[in-house]
A and B are shown apart, each in its own frame.
Chain A
């Protein structure tokens, strides 16, 4: 929507439609350019697109068929520049998240305040 204005967008990757759509909606309500992807493959495709200036990825750790970790590994293999990652997780160990270079994590069910903080930190507020 506002991806071309140079402010960049926030990518929400979660295979749960309700969560993904809720988060995208909340972010958009706050004035951020946010886009949702339901699986690793489409997220990968979007991130390959140099025209899209993705500033922050909110990534669900437990997805099927491609998990959050596998998506990161696929991006590394594809030599795609990886934006800052914030991992949604129920219980995934933090050391794994450190391995993928996450800047933070959000424990489900997503705490709203923290979500706003990360968005503000990595994306220019509209």
Chain B
């Protein structure tokens, strides 16, 4: 090189310096052991943190580098003359990474202290790339290592099939998975080795891979001899098929087990749901945080939600009002803490459906094996109706109390052993006893002793179920000892709650009515007494009169007083007899009204009785111009009161002659099984239909009284007597054609019973 230099003129120092200055490489000269800059080009100046560098020592310019050992390396070059090949020197203490490379050499010009020349280039960009490269190499290396480890651990088997479905490659792993030897497989056609693979999922996927050119993944069960679940990836390549496969039997089995477990669980849930939903109640489960785990269908219907909507939700989230939500959470906490069931009742309105109800609920702890609460089971019952019924009952009880208290009649509940259980104000007023005295039951019975026996007997009948109620007029004894007449109506009732029986007594004060009745009875008694006394009083002088007249008539006949006297005496006697008859009627009326008629039944031949009666009428019939036709069954016998039968026949015959207008009168007597029928038929004026019932009433005539006379008592008395004998009487008549009176009497015409007569 030196030789070549000599061939050319030497460049001037200014030229050299200018060239140095324009270099992209940073160049500096440092002199002396203190390493003071004697030269630095522009590039060096740009890179230096302190300017100008010339005149400054290295340490002054690059303090951090000097400290980091660069100064020492430079001094070593200076002292030893060994160049420093700077390879990617990273400048320390820079805000950005800064890399340099270059040379540091010693120059020693004669007469000058030894210097070093630094020639360095900024290689920061390259160095960063290189560093990244190194890092990525490292990552790659690590990835490779991992890949290798993975590959080493991989359980896939690999086979390759050619166009003819022959095995060309069979990995060891593949042979092992398939429980075959590689030699058996290599060169063989897959369908020969595994005949059952035809039509299998493998067949399908392999053909699809070949036909589409797309890799196919599938899994399927490989039947014996494999008995495996395999997951296969088929990669078609140039008509060949590479198949990677792995044994997933275990995974499949655990999946299946899991599926079965889930199915079992779901079946149990369905079963539980089915059972829980058959009840009309709500059934639900809470977890320990008060979130629903389950709700039966009935509850879901009310909520208007599906089970999936509610699982994991709190009552609040399902639209429960905050207070109810809080209440439930408190109760759940209580169940968890106490491990005991908690009961409650609350109104609830479902947000979605608007269904409202009052529910009675119970939260029950479900304990786990360790005895702690695992979940909380709840049931709720709709008690709205019951509540309404209870309300209605309360209202009706209030109403009843009101009615009971405010009614004007006395009311009481009495136990079956005669204790007052409840009495109202009116009863106290009627009896004169205070409520306390009555309810204290220390008074004993306040029923009049004369009435107690009947009251007791009737109440026993009621208790025995022989009657459903009874009414009784009886007397209570007031505190002052005076009796008060009451009408007591008694029914038996059953206490719904206990089933115990008690009497309900309604007590009416009838003292006023009773007094009126007594006055009326007294008036009637006075009247009847009057009738009776008057009758008797009239009868006695009449009897005397008749005796005298009859005796006189007899004497007149005997002593021949003459026809005129006899005739007048006869007529006087007849008038007396008619008067007697009327008096007897009045007496009969009073006896019948007083119920004092006593029948005297005897064994009779009815025909004889009728003949006797008819004989008495022969004279008057002849006078009236009436023929008496008799059709009498003389064999008929009966047990009856002779006088009363005579009276009936006499009355009817007398009427027939009276109203018979001189036409024949028929008297018929016939037997009909247990009864006899007496018919008295006239052909006289007859009785209009509207009168036919009235003639049997007291003081009734079918015709004007003046023309025919009499009290109009005859038919009434006849009817009363007939009925007293257990018989019936009726009339059949056509006006102007006559009347037929029919009397039907039982053969045993004894007095059937003593009954009220009208």
Interface presence of A41 (CB below 8 A) = no
Interface presence of B268 (CB below 8 A) = no
Q: Contacts A29-B551, A91-B587, A108-B539 known; A19 to B544 CB distance under 8 Å?
A: yes
CA A59 to CA B546, docked complex, whole Å:
19
CA A13 to CA B289, docked complex, whole Å:
118
Interface presence of B339 (CB below 8 A) = no
Collect the chain A residues with CB atoms within 8 Å of residue B591's CB. Answer: 91
Q: Are A110 and B600 in contact (CB under 8 A)?
A: no
CA A88 to CA B721, docked complex, whole Å:
24
Which residues of chain B (515-574) have a CB below 8 Å from chain A?
Answer: 536, 539-544, 546-548, 550-551, 554-555
CA A19 to CA B551, docked complex, whole Å:
13
- Of B539, B551, B555, which one neighbours A109 at CB under 8 angstroms? B539
Q: Are B550 and A95 in contact (CB under 8 A)?
A: no
17 more A-B residue pairs beyond the given contacts A25-B551, A90-B536, with a C-beta to C-beta distance below 8 A: A16-B540, A16-B544, A18-B540, A18-B541, A19-B544, A22-B547, A29-B555, A90-B587, A91-B591, A93-B598, A94-B600, A95-B600, A109-B540, A110-B546, A110-B547, A112-B551, A112-B554
Collect the chain B residues with CB atoms within 8 Å of residue A29's CB. Answer: 551, 555
Q: Contacts A93-B600, A94-B600, A95-B600 known; A108 to B543 CB distance under 8 Å?
A: yes
Q: Are B580 and A109 in contact (CB under 8 A)?
A: yes
Nearest CB in chain B to that of A113: its residue: B550
Interface presence of A82 (CB below 8 A) = no
Collect the chain A residues with CB atoms within 8 Å of residue B540's CB. Answer: 16, 18-19, 108-109
Nearest CB in chain A to that of B545: its residue: A109
Chain A min CB distance to B557 (Å): 12
CA A25 to CA B548, docked complex, whole Å:
9
Collect the chain A residues with CB atoms within 8 Å of residue B536's CB. Answer: 90
Chain B min CB distance to A54 (Å): 22
Nearest CB in chain B to that of A116: its residue: B554
Collect the chain B residues with CB atoms within 8 Å of residue A94's CB. Answer: 600
Q: Are B539 and A112 in contact (CB under 8 A)?
A: no
CA A97 to CA B430, docked complex, whole Å:
51
Collect the chain A residues with CB atoms within 8 Å of residue B580's CB. Answer: 109
Collect the chain A residues with CB atoms within 8 Å of residue B555's CB. Answer: 29
Q: Are A22 and B544 in contact (CB under 8 A)?
A: yes
Chain A min CB distance to B528 (Å): 14
Q: Are B598 and A23 in contact (CB under 8 A)?
A: no
- A-B pairs under 8 A by CB, number: 48
Interface presence of A26 (CB below 8 A) = yes
Chain B min CB distance to A26 (Å): 5
Ordered by A's residue number, 25 sampled pairs between the chains whose C-beta atoms are within 8 Å are A16-B540, A18-B540, A18-B541, A18-B543, A18-B544, A19-B540, A19-B543, A19-B544, A22-B544, A22-B548, A23-B547, A26-B551, A90-B536, A90-B539, A90-B587, A91-B587, A91-B591, A95-B600, A108-B539, A109-B540, A109-B543, A109-B580, A110-B547, A112-B547, A112-B554
Proximity string of chain A (24-51) to chain B, C-beta cutoff 8 Å, 1 when within and 0 when not? 0110010000000000000000000000
Nearest CB in chain A to that of B554: its residue: A112
Collect the chain B residues with CB atoms within 8 Å of residue A93's CB. Answer: 598, 600
Q: Are A112 and B550 in contact (CB under 8 A)?
A: yes
Q: Are A19 and B547 in contact (CB under 8 A)?
A: yes
Collect the chain B residues with CB atoms within 8 Å of residue A95's CB. Answer: 600
CA A75 to CA B543, docked complex, whole Å:
28
Collect the chain A residues with CB atoms within 8 Å of residue B539's CB. Answer: 90, 108-109
CA A106 to CA B534, docked complex, whole Å:
21
Which residues of chain B (129-158) have a CB below 8 Å from chain A?
Answer: none
Q: Are A110 and B543 in contact (CB under 8 A)?
A: yes
Chain A min CB distance to B247 (Å): 128
Proximity string of chain A (4-29) to chain B, C-beta cutoff 8 Å, 1 when within and 0 when not? 00000000000010110011011001
Proximity string of chain A (93-114) to chain B, C-beta cutoff 8 Å, 1 when within and 0 when not? 1110000000000001110100
Chain A min CB distance to B382 (Å): 79
Number of interface residues of B (CB under 8 A): 20
* B contact residues vs A (CB 8 Å cutoff): 536, 539-544, 546-548, 550-551, 554-555, 576, 580, 587, 591, 598, 600
Nearest CB in chain A to that of B576: its residue: A109
CA A124 to CA B649, docked complex, whole Å:
38
Collect the chain B residues with CB atoms within 8 Å of residue A25's CB. Answer: 551
Nearest CB in chain A to that of B549: its residue: A112
CA A20 to CA B261, docked complex, whole Å:
128
CA A23 to CA B547, docked complex, whole Å:
8
Chain A min CB distance to B550 (Å): 4
Nearest CB in chain A to that of B543: its residue: A109
CA A25 to CA B547, docked complex, whole Å:
10
Chain B min CB distance to A86 (Å): 15
Collect the chain A residues with CB atoms within 8 Å of residue B598's CB. Answer: 93
Q: Contacts A90-B536, A91-B591, A93-B600 known; A109 to B548 CB distance under 8 Å?
A: no
Nearest CB in chain A to that of B551: its residue: A26
Chain B min CB distance to A102 (Å): 14
CA A93 to CA B542, docked complex, whole Å:
22
- Of A16, A90, A91, A109, which one neighbours B546 at CB under 8 angstroms? A109
CA A91 to CA B540, docked complex, whole Å:
13
- Of A26, A90, A91, which one neighbours B547 at CB under 8 angstroms? A26
Chain A min CB distance to B590 (Å): 11
Chain A min CB distance to B136 (Å): 152
Chain A min CB distance to B616 (Å): 12
Nearest CB in chain A to that of B579: its residue: A109
Nearest CB in chain A to that of B577: its residue: A109
Q: Are B587 and A109 in contact (CB under 8 A)?
A: no
Chain B min CB distance to A106 (Å): 10
Chain B min CB distance to A107 (Å): 9
CA A110 to CA B547, docked complex, whole Å:
7
Chain B min CB distance to A90 (Å): 7
Collect the chain A residues with CB atoms within 8 Å of residue B551's CB. Answer: 22, 25-26, 29, 112
Chain B min CB distance to A44 (Å): 23
Which residues of chain A (48-77) have a CB below 8 Å from chain B?
Answer: none
Which 9 pairs show the lowest CB-CB distances between chains A and B?
A: A109-B543, A18-B544, A22-B547, A112-B550, A109-B546, A22-B544, A16-B540, A108-B543, A26-B551
Chain B min CB distance to A100 (Å): 16
Chain A min CB distance to B646 (Å): 12
Nearest CB in chain A to that of B540: its residue: A16
Collect the chain A residues with CB atoms within 8 Å of residue B544's CB. Answer: 16, 18-19, 22, 109
Nearest CB in chain A to that of B555: its residue: A29
Nearest CB in chain B to that of A16: its residue: B540
Collect the chain A residues with CB atoms within 8 Å of residue B547's CB. Answer: 19, 22-23, 26, 109-110, 112
Nearest CB in chain B to that of A108: its residue: B543
Chain B min CB distance to A92 (Å): 10
Collect the chain A residues with CB atoms within 8 Å of residue B546's CB. Answer: 109-110
Collect the chain A residues with CB atoms within 8 Å of residue B600's CB. Answer: 93-95
CA A108 to CA B545, docked complex, whole Å:
12
CA A100 to CA B547, docked complex, whole Å:
26
Chain B min CB distance to A64 (Å): 12
CA A11 to CA B551, docked complex, whole Å:
19
Chain B min CB distance to A105 (Å): 11
